[in-house]
Structure 1
Amino acid sequence: MKTRKGWILLSVSLLVAATTLMGCTSNSSQTPKTSAEAPENAPQKETTEAKRTGEITVALEAEATSLDPWNSTDSNTLHILSTMFEGLLTLDEDGEVIPVLATDYKWSDDATSLTFHLRKAVLFHDGTPFDAQVVKNNLDYVRNKEHGMARASFFGFIKEITVVDPYTVTVTANEPDSAMVAYMAHPSASFKSQKELQKKLDDPNYSLDRNPVGTGPYQFHEWKNGQYVKVTAFSDYWDKGKTAKLASIQFKPVTEASTRVNMLKAGEVDIVTSLPTLDARNMGSDPSLDVYSGPSLNMLYVGMNTKLDKYKDKRVRQAMNYAMNKEQLISQVADGFGTAADSPLSPLVKGYSKQQSYAYDVAKAKELLKEAGYPNGFTATLWTRNSTEFVAIAENIKIQLQNVGIKVEVQAYESGTLFEKLDAGEGTDLYIGRWGTGTAEADWGLRPNFASDRVPPNYNNSGFYMNKQVDQLLDDALKATNSDAARQKYDEAQKVIMDEAPWIFLYVPDVVIAKQKTVSDVSVTLDTVRLNSAYKQ
């Protein structure tokens, strides 16, 4: 398994830290880092059809929400989308930008635009060609708010897209934007067939969520609700050295954690993307399995609707942070696989800056609540996903908040339902969130969650937090002409957010995955299990 630094293999007798975990890459070596340039469809050895005979089954923690990269906002679905869709750029295991459908890119002198040269002879799964006009049409569609795409705000930085020639395109931002490359490397900046897009334009009721057509090594085959999503090898994939080695991959939603574990032990599934931490160490002793854990880009938190009177006073929000014993939460619920939050960002995010965290202090929490006019606490409703892990976190939070007089009712929902409720922005009180900074840089970790212009409906600032100082700091960071100046602004923004406490900052969870030893060449990038090179022995 190819992974970034910090990943460990859980074995019978020891935990081995490694940069590259070669024990699971029997016929593979570490992928070399690539600069902003890549060879133009360099000749590669064709993958033999003989290898393309196996099938693997992957157990996910929840049903996919959408198979449209512009309309999916959960990390769970990315495991599926990454097999079918590609963008101009992506990030490698070390968080470095590398070209995919682009061969190179170049900044303008004023840092307001990026010009991309595109690969030639790239086909979508429906046989239609990829070119500069497709890039323009895709980006124009997703950023048009009238189309209601969940990722519309993600592309709000774009002013215009210009087709220079059939294989050259320029993306121009509204103003200098230091995060533009990282945004264009995000999984949501993937491209779909123009033919498929036209179907949606001709018929507004046509579902792009259920008809994914990308350029990746695997193509969509079938989605049976509650049972599986199946992808199959795409024989005309443009990179002949990286064609699919499996005939198909099946992704099964398995909400109950113990069921995922039992299915893996019984050989009914080949990979579990979200292994229950309670089982991780014990399963490391199974000679037929590989179990890995490592740091993630995710942040687990409790959001709160700051429009409600009870959360308007900063002292109440701070009290709720002091009321949480995060180390106990990590120990009891995550079995030690996590790190207490000392920022709104994971330490793996570029621009992260360690801040003064909230130490566990029940007495201080009660004092702050009393000062804010809530000496006996108050009642609250906590929304969460209905998976085993999230319900366990919610119940732990309920008990801890009750210690300071806050009486919590937990309400669990299927992931898609919860996201719809949060996006609608109606009836929100408390909610458990898990934000993954998919660009691996600070702007996308902070702006969607704390900027005043990102509140519902259809945006991610579900707590309706608004702070003009934070808005200005985030904007100044984007316009900064050097990385040190941007980092200083992000540091100040994190400091304000931690003090304002619009979240209960919980912890950065480890990614814990397991697989059968018979499956090789699996990698993890941006907390997503990558299966494009995987094969089964």
Structure 2
Amino acid sequence: MRHLFASVALAALFCGATPVATLAETPDDQLIVATVMSNILTLDPAAITGRETVQVLNNIYDTLVVLSPDDRDLHPRLAESWEISPDRMKITFRLRPDAVFASGNPVTAQDVVFSLKRLLTLNLAQSSFLKSRGYTAEAADRLFVAQDDHTFVLNLPEPDDPKLILMVLAQNGPGSILDSKTVLENEQGGDLGAKWLTLNSAGSGPFTLTRWASNEYIILSRNDDYWGEVPAMKRVLMRHLPESQSQRLMLEQGDIDVGYSLLAPDLKALESNDRIRIESTPGAGFYYLAVSMKDPRFADRKVREALRLLIDYDGLDKAVMPYYGKLYQRPITTGALGQLPDPGYKLDVEKAKALLAEAGYPDGFKTTLRVLSEEPFLKAGTAIQNTLAQAGIQAELITGSGDQIYGAMRDRNFELLVGRGGGGQQPHPDSNLRALAFNPDNSDEAKLTNYQGWRTSFFDEKLNGMIEDALLERDLETQKKKYEDIQAYMDQSVMSILPFSETVDTAAFQADVQGLTVNPWLTRFEVVTKER
């Protein structure tokens, strides 16, 4: 409860009021958000990790384009228009002439060049998004070109789908545009402002960073000189409040406006409160059962097919996954090009037993099943352990932290694992397929740990070629058909990753809060209002 009382006191200070035990209502022009900030280690766009930090940056930095939270289509932001060249090797952006940074400096094409070159030069976490598309610091001068103050040209280093590149640039982190003058004024020892940007901001967004106290709170203040529509909220207080019950209590008492990190029991308890709204939206990635194909048992397609029939999809969806995920069996994100309907797999123990017998395991076998020791992974893993046992597969549960469980997967030292992942930050099929299935080099020495195909020792040269071919297809309808064919092929092949639920993002918030986007990758508080 220590965090609860600290949060109430801070909220009172934030509002300019005397601290009291409870607050009946938050201020009309200030948004108080509870979340978990354990993964927020820096606010430098080049170095951030995790969706919680992207959620912060979405409000203080602009990108050239944005993804709409409604349909995930691309919309203008700092670039009022863009044009893809006929050979699809160049994208020309026309910048808004009225855009300015919080410092008052104008946003120019030179700032865009600086931001992208800085990203690759520092070679920190967010650079991987561009590096995976072939961009390098050595080629930056040729690939990033300012034709004039308001015309930026992005050259592609290799054939690709320009729409996917645009989706990458729509994400804060790889796509954040920084005020080059302000950053360089605060450079220390040639660090391109890295130390200063850890605790400060140099963006053109609707809010500016006022203060960040690690694992305590972040205060954002309205940028009254913002080039777009000025937000209704004067300030946003984002509070580190990891305990779900504390978030629930503070929502019930009116001390916070939004809770982003509540667990299922507390969300369920809030459903009957007519002053609180609960909303779930599709997130990024999937919950899945993974196998290591280094194990000869799981390298057998019949065994993988049996495992696919030993997941109680409906039972998990109803009893374990509410607020965390939604029943889903495809490897491509909802709404992405070429998405097929679910194949409709059901728990079928007898058919699974027959397949195991055909594979030479009529009595099943013993194995291990690794799961995170947190919800919903532990409950999902226990449920899958029970259904595996019905066909004679005795799976010993191994629980642990993310480093322990996913670390074993990255080391290719596991048998079965319940996990979450699979791309999807960019709503493009390639984002999912490269994360889940693509594997250009299956050798241990390759250490392609970003590819879950490599982690699970799954290698299919034909599938690799299909994925590359679909990415480069220029005709939209033909490209759509190719992604449909890939899903059919993966279904027939029985992949090493068996999705059973698509991730959803869930938040609880006061009923008078309007315009909130729940998905943290797309959240922008500039459109939030309170109807009182």
Same fold (TM > 0.5):
yes
- Aligned match of 1:83 in 34, 43, 59? 59
* TM-score (norm: length of structure 2): 0.78
Q: Judging changes above 3 Å, is the alpha-carbon distance between structure 1 residues 379 and 209 closer, same or farther for their aligned structure 2 residues?
A: farther
Aligned counterparts of 2:114 and 2:295: Cα–Cα separation in 1:
41
> Which residue of 499, 504, 523 corresponds with 1:505?
499
* Distance in 2 separating the partners of 1:507 and 1:71: 30
Change (3 A) 1:214 1:389: farther
Change (3 A) 1:148 1:456: farther
Q: CA deviation at 1:76?
A: 4.1
Alpha-carbon distance between aligned partners in 2 of 1:418 and 1:243, rounded to the nearest angstrom: 43
SS at match of 2:144: strand
Which deviates more from structure 2 when the two are superposed, residues 465-474 or residues 92-101? Answer: 465-474
Whole-angstrom CA distance in 1 between matches of 2:213 and 2:408:
26
Q: 1:103 to 1:133 in 2, by over 3 A?
A: same
Residue 314 of structure 2 contacts residue 346 of structure 2 at CA under 8 Å; is this kept in 1? no
Go from structure 1 to structure 2 and tell me whether the alpha carbon gap of 1:329 and 1:72 turns closer, same or farther (over 3 Å shift).
farther
Instruction: Note the alpha carbon deviations across 1:102-125, whole angstroms, 9 max, x for none.
Output: 111011111222100112354445
SS in 1 for 2:334: coil
Counterpart residue identity of residue 494, structure 2: E
Aligned counterpart, 2:9:
none
Q: Answer with 282-291 or 523-532: which moved more.
A: 523-532
Residue of 137, 142, 145 corresponding to 1:162: 145
Secondary structure at the aligned position of 2:458 is classed as: coil
- Per the alignment, do residues 463 and 322 of structure 1 end up closer, same or farther by CA in structure 2, a change over 3 Å counting? same
Given the superposition, is the C-alpha separation of residues 232 and 305 from structure 1 closer, same or farther in structure 2, using an over 3 Å criterion? Answer: farther
Q: Identify the match of residue 177 of structure 1 among 125, 143, 161.
A: 161
Q: Which moved more, 1:52-61 or 1:342-351?
A: 52-61
Per the alignment, do residues 196 and 251 of structure 1 end up closer, same or farther by CA in structure 2, a change over 3 Å counting? farther
Alignment pair present for 1:229 and 2:212:
no
The answer on 1:466 being equivalent to 2:455 is no
Pick from 517, 524, 531: which aligns with 1:530?
A: 524
Unaligned runs of 5+ in 2: 1-26, 136-142
Identity of aligned residues (%): 21
Aligned with 1:135 (options 104, 112, 123): 112
Task: Say if 2:394 is the partner of 1:413.
Answer: no
Residue 348 (structure 1) aligned with residue 335 (structure 2): yes
Question: Are 2:360 and 1:377 equivalent residues in the alignment?
Answer: no
Q: Determine which structure has more spread, i.e. the larger CA radius of gyration.
A: 2
Q: CA deviation at 1:485?
A: 0.9
CA distance in 1, matches of 2:292, 2:104: 47
Following superposition, the deviation at residue 493 of structure 1 comes to 1.7
Please give the secondary structure, in 2, of the residue aligned with 1:501. coil
The DSSP-based 3-state class of the residue aligned with 2:238 is strand
Query: After superposition, where does 1:263-412 map in structure 2 within 5 Å?
Result: 263-280=250-267, 282-296=269-283, 298-335=285-322, 338-354=325-341, 356-372=343-359, 375-384=363-372, 387-404=374-391, 405-412=393-400
Cα deviation for residue 444 of structure 1 reads 1.4
Aligned counterparts of 1:349 and 1:90: Cα–Cα separation in 2: 16
Change (3 A) 1:452 1:167: same
Contact 1:299-1:434 at 8 Å conserved across structures: yes
SS at match of 2:526: coil
- Corresponding position of 1:247: 235
Name the counterpart of 1:4: none
Q: Which residue of 1 aligns with 2:19?
A: none
The amino acid that maps onto 2:450 is Y
Are 1:437 and 2:424 counterparts? Answer: yes
Q: Indicate the larger mover: 405-414 or 107-116.
A: 405-414
Question: Is the Cα contact below 8 Å between 2:279 and 2:508 reproduced in 1?
Answer: yes
Is 1:486 aligned with 2:482?
A: no
Letter in 2 for 1:181: L
CA shift in 2, pair 1:80/1:293, >3 Å = same
Q: For residues 205 and 303 of structure 1, what CA distance do their matches in structure 2 show?
A: 41
**How far does residue 234 in structure 1 lie from its aligned partner after superposition?**
3.0
Structure 1 residue 164: Cα displacement: 1.4
**Under a length normalisation based on structure 1, what TM-score does the superposition of the two structures give?**
0.77
Equivalent residue, structure 2, for 1:515: 509
Q: Closer, same or farther in 2 for the Cα pair 1:223/1:502, shift >3 Å?
A: farther
Q: 1:30 maps to what in 2?
A: none
In 1, distance between residues paired with 2:343 and 2:246?
40
Deviation, structure 1 residue 70:
4.6
Q: Comparing 229-238 with 96-105, which one deviates more in the overlay? A: 229-238
Segment of structure 1 superposing worse, 190-199 or 329-338 = 190-199
The one-letter code sitting in structure 2 at the alignment partner of 1:517 is A
Question: Does the aligned pair in 1 maintain the 2:62–2:205 contact within 8 Å?
Answer: yes
Alignment length, in residue pairs?
481
User: Structure 2 CA distance, aligned partners of 1:423 and 1:209?
Assistant: 31
Q: Secondary structure at the match of 1:311?
A: helix
CA root-mean-square deviation: 3.5
Deviates more, 1:504-513 or 1:91-100: 504-513
CA shift, 1:98, in A, is 0.7
**Structure 1 runs, 4 residues or longer, greater than 6 Å off:** none
Q: Check conservation: 2:505, 2:518, Cα contact below 8 A.
A: no
Q: SS in structure 2 opposite 1:532?
A: helix
Task: Tell me whether 1:214 sits opposite 2:203 in the alignment.
Answer: yes
